[in-house]
Amino acid sequence: MKDALRVGLMLGWKQLRHASIWTTMLITFVMMLTFLNLVAVSGILVGLIEGSVKAYSDQFTGDIFITTLQGEKHIEKSGDLLSTMATIPGVDAYTARYTEGVTIEANYRERRDPKALRDTVGTTIVGLDPEAEEVVTNLSRHLVEGEYLTPNDASYVMLGATLLEQYSPLGQGDDVGFPTLSDVHPGTRVRVTVGDATKEYIVKGILKTKVDEISRRIFVTDSEFVRLAGRTNLNVNEMAIRVEKDTPASRVKQSLIASGASEYALVRLSREGLPKFLIDVMNTFALLGNGISSIGLVVSSITIFIVVFVNAITRRKYIGILKGIGVRASAIELSYVFQSLLYVLAGSALALIIIYGLLVPFFNSHPIDFPFSDGILVAPLGSTLIKLVILIVATVIAGYIPAWMIIKRNTLDSILGR
Amino acid sequence: MIEVKNLVKNYGKGDVVTHVLRNINLRIKAGEFVAIMGKSGAGKSTLMYQMSLLDVPTSGTVTLDGIETAGLSEADRTLFRLNRLGYIFQDYALLPELSAAENVMVPLLMTGMSRAEGMTKAMRALDAVGLGHRLDNRPAQLSGGEQQRVSIARAIAEKPDILFADEPTANLDSVSGEAVIKVMQELHQKQGQTIVMVTHEDEYAAAADRIIHLEDGVIVSDTTVNGREGAK
């Protein structure tokens, strides 16, 4: 077998070296496109949702998201939990948020007729520490108008853009079933009502992002929230934790649970908090991507099959001669398998350079602007390598079969071209 | 060395069977230089293909060095050809992408020889046929006569028991043809190489010790040339 391998490699390499450069480039190009198709199609389909998941974690939940237990209004002993959090190794930063359902009203100063329809929207108000929030979610990055809150801003509010008519993705006006506020900009006064309490705020900034939990909420400082909502305790509703770069979030989560956090709150990794339908959509897209990619795999296998078949059939006489002078069939088969292998390796190497050197960094810095998410290219190295192995196996088989078909023919018939 | 008994080779099936070889019986001793002659379609090449294990007879036996070849598998026949037989084809049959030395080296590497050893042997064989200076030339860079000499070098590099040559001069001009025959004659005379050569040219057949004439698949004459006796 060693001799067959040696001779096969020599014959394959020599044949490839003297083959037409254009043919070689074309086949390599096809293999490159196939591998790109294998990785990129499913990668973008998964990335479409993954972008949304990443944004959810980056902008809202952090790496670990702590919420109220079912049936509870607040996270009990929030102060203790926050103190504990500060001592847990691996916690980089955290932010605590108060939330409450509110009604926000605009244009009440211009309304002359008391019976006319009020310009109101029901939403959630979030009370937060602007500085802590900034460290965890970099919230100010999503300002499209105005300025970010400072800790002393008692009369200011930031609004999510989806609440405003001019930013509503569903079109102008309230007639599409989703109410929005008209003509509200930074500096506009709005009225916020929580239960029986109502207070007027000046809009300081407008936040626009594809994460609904940001763009459908309004934001005031935590101290202002406590005043407005009349909270007598300081128990919060949400906490978002950012862990240190090299620390697994699951380890921090375990530490939190071990410290008793789960007795008072629901402690979840960012991904665990995703709705089931989103996970299902992600799996479906991955499946769909793999299905589409497998068509590419079949096409490339057929390409290699045809190339090797045509090559072998036009060299049938030489194949016969090689067999005639005592070269084993396995050596000749290996020469064709080796050529196929070189095509796939060259094509895949180019594709890998394009994927990891160009596409992944490009889509990370310039996500695709889908209506509901910023799509990125998801190409984990592990699954890319698995796809590479699949492509190599498919190509090697596609190269072997036609060679075997030609080589098994009668030696003398091959030599004489019968 | 070569014993052919009741050899029959037919092509086709049913009503369109062509009887190419009809009950051939033949013995070729080690060290003989035998020329097989006959008109086109007489069956001379077909006889050589059966003796050289490139084809399987319809019936009858071919025994090489006491080994009955009928029972050999395709892989065994390939191995037998590699280790014990040498071939010179009418159209040289060199691989176009390999150099002269590499063409000679391919079967040597298949025997398990190292690349260095194979190259040494290939150079020696090419030197023996007067092409020591053309090692790196590819077939397209060689004349027909030179290509055929590379083919001879490939066939003799591993010193085969029997050298088969199928019309080795057919595609060559007379000067190149004579040069090729001269190389074969020297191999036979100096090294006692057993040679079976198919040819239809009398002047080249005269280089052999023995001439077998075929006609319609039957041996019609088997004569020794000028009383020469090459068999050991």
Residues A390 and A298 in one domain: yes
- Classify the phi-psi angles of A252: left when phi > 0, otherwise alpha if psi is within -120 to 50, otherwise beta: alpha
- Classify the phi-psi angles of A108: left when phi > 0, otherwise alpha if psi is within -120 to 50, otherwise beta: alpha
User: Nearest CA of chain B to the CA of A38: how many Å?
Assistant: 35
Distance of CA A392 to the CA centre of its chain: 27
Q: How confident is the model at residue B232 (pLDDT cuts 50, 70, 90)?
A: very low
Q: Residue type for B48, please?
A: M
Q: Which of A321, A328, A408, A416 is the best substitution to test chain B (most B C-beta atoms within 10 A)?
A: A321
pLDDT computed for residue B24 by the predictor: 92
Whether B182 is covered by a domain: the verdict is yes
What are A88's two structure tokens? 């847990």
Please state, in angstroms and rounded to a whole number, the distance separating the CA atoms of residues A102 and A124. Answer: 6
pLDDT computed for residue B200 by the predictor: 86
Please state, in angstroms and rounded to a whole number, the distance separating the CA atoms of residues A57 and A137. Answer: 8
Distance of CA A197 to the CA centre of its chain: 41
Residues A409 and A351 in one domain: yes
Residues A178 and A306 in one domain: no
Please state, in angstroms and rounded to a whole number, the distance separating the CA atoms of residues A30 and A35. Answer: 9
Cα Dmax for chain B: 55
As a whole number, mean pLDDT of residues B170-192 equals 85
pLDDT computed for residue A190 by the predictor: 93
Residues of B within 8 A of A1 (CB-CB) are: none
Q: Which residues of B touch A (CB under 8 A)?
A: 49, 54-55, 75, 78-79, 81-83, 85, 87, 89, 93, 95-98, 102, 106-107, 109-112, 115, 154-155
Whether A257 is covered by a domain: the verdict is no
Helix (H, G, I), strand (E, B) or coil at A265: strand
Query: What angle do helix axes B100-110 and B115-128 make, rounded to 10 degrees?
Result: 130
Whether A86 is covered by a domain: the verdict is no
Residues A41 and A98 in one domain: no
Whether A374 is covered by a domain: the verdict is yes
Please state, in angstroms and rounded to a whole number, the distance separating the CA atoms of residues A340 and A311. Answer: 12
Whether B222 is covered by a domain: the verdict is yes
What are B228's two structure tokens? 């020469």
User: Nearest CA of chain A to the CA of B105: how many Å?
Assistant: 10
Please state, in angstroms and rounded to a whole number, the distance separating the CA atoms of residues B168 and B149. Answer: 10
> Angle at CA A305, nearest 5°, toward A302 and A307?
110
Residue B231 has pLDDT above 50, yes or no: no
* Cβ partners under 8 Å of residue A336, min gap 6: A12, A308, A311, A312, A399, A400, A402, A403
Cα→Cα distances A235→A327, A342, B114, Å:
83, 64, 81
Please state, in angstroms and rounded to a whole number, the distance separating the CA atoms of residues B42 and B40. Answer: 6
C-beta separation of A356 from A32 below 8 A: no
H/E stretch holding A381 reads helix A381-407
Please state, in angstroms and rounded to a whole number, the distance separating the CA atoms of residues B33 and B193. Answer: 8
**In degrees to the nearest 10, what's the CA dihedral of A50, A52, A57, A59?**
150
| Residue positions counted in chain A | 418
Q: Which among A292, A323, A282 is positioned nearest to A39, based on CA atoms?
A: A292
Report, as ranges of residue numbers, the positions in chain A whose pLDDT lies below 70: 169-177
**How many structural domains compose chain B?**
1
pLDDT computed for residue A51 by the predictor: 82
Within 10 angstroms of residue B22's Cβ, the number of other Cβ atoms is 16
Q: Which among A333, A241, A344, A413 is positioned nearest to A28, based on CA atoms?
A: A344
Which CATH number does the domain housing residue B86 bear? 3.40.50.300
Distance of CA A243 to the CA centre of its chain: 19
Interface residue A315 vs chain B (CB under 8 A): no
Please state, in angstroms and rounded to a whole number, the distance separating the CA atoms of residues B32 and B222. Answer: 13
Whether B169 is covered by a domain: the verdict is yes
Identify the domain containing residue B184 by its residue range.
2-93+160-227
Cα Dmax for chain A: 105
Q: What DSSP letter does each residue of A383-404 carry, written as one string? A: HHHHHHHHHHHHHHHHHHHHHH
Q: Which among A332, A402, A392, A407 is positioned nearest to A14, based on CA atoms?
A: A332
Sign of CA dihedral A106, A109, A110, A115: positive
Residue B220 has pLDDT above 60, yes or no: yes
User: Nearest CA of chain A to the CA of B137: how many Å?
Assistant: 14
Whether A132 is covered by a domain: the verdict is yes
Q: How confident is the model at residue B120 (pLDDT cuts 50, 70, 90)?
A: very high
Whether A403 is covered by a domain: the verdict is yes
User: Nearest CA of chain B to the CA of A342: how many Å?
Assistant: 18
Q: Do A324 and B93 touch (CB under 8 A)?
A: yes
Strands B194-198, B162-166: pairing is: parallel
Strands A156-160, A119-128: pairing is: unpaired
User: Nearest CA of chain A to the CA of B165: how many Å?
Assistant: 12
Helix (H, G, I), strand (E, B) or coil at B64: strand
Whether A320 is covered by a domain: the verdict is yes
Whether B135 is covered by a domain: the verdict is no
Residues A190 and A295 in one domain: no
> Backbone phi, then psi, for B156, in 5-degree steps?
-100, -5
Identify the domain containing residue A188 by its residue range.
94-236
Please state, in angstroms and rounded to a whole number, the distance separating the CA atoms of residues A315 and A406. Answer: 9
Sign of CA dihedral B91, B96, B102, B108: negative
pLDDT computed for residue A138 by the predictor: 93
What are B179's two structure tokens? 């040069």
Whether A229 is covered by a domain: the verdict is yes
Please state, in angstroms and rounded to a whole number, the distance separating the CA atoms of residues A133 and A118. Answer: 33
Q: What is the pLDDT of residues B122-163, one digit of tens each?
A: 999 998 888 889 899 999 999 988 998 899 899 888 888 899
What are B63's two structure tokens? 């025994």
What are A402's two structure tokens? 């036609």
Please state, in angstroms and rounded to a whole number, the distance separating the CA atoms of residues B203 and A406. Answer: 39
Nearest residue, CB atoms, A326 vs list B49, B82, B93? B82
What are B118's two structure tokens? 């194979």
Interface residue A4 vs chain B (CB under 8 A): yes
Q: Residue type for A223, please?
A: S
**Alpha-helical regions (H) of chain B:** 44-51, 74-84, 100-110, 115-128, 144-156, 174-191, 202-205
pLDDT computed for residue A170 by the predictor: 60
Strand partners, A239: A96
pLDDT computed for residue B27 by the predictor: 93
Strand partners, B164: B87, B196
Residues A284 and A406 in one domain: yes
Query: Residue A331: closest CA among chain B residues belongs to which residue?
Result: B110
Within 10 angstroms of residue A206's Cβ, the number of other Cβ atoms is 23
**How many structural domains compose chain A?**
2
pLDDT computed for residue B130 by the predictor: 86
Residues A191 and A282 in one domain: no
Whether B148 is covered by a domain: the verdict is no
Strand partners, A304: none
Please state, in angstroms and rounded to a whole number, the distance separating the CA atoms of residues B198 and B41. Answer: 12
Please state, in angstroms and rounded to a whole number, the distance separating the CA atoms of residues A384 and A380. Answer: 6
Residue B178 has pLDDT above 60, yes or no: yes
Q: Which among A153, A162, A129 is positioned nearest to A239, based on CA atoms?
A: A129
What are A362's two structure tokens? 């490009």
Residues A38 and A154 in one domain: no
Q: Do A412 and B98 touch (CB under 8 A)?
A: no
**Which of the listed residues A208, A236, A264 is the one where a domain comes to its end?**
A236
pLDDT computed for residue B7 by the predictor: 93
Strand partners, B90: none
Total-model pTM = 0.74
Distance of CA A39 to the CA centre of its chain: 14
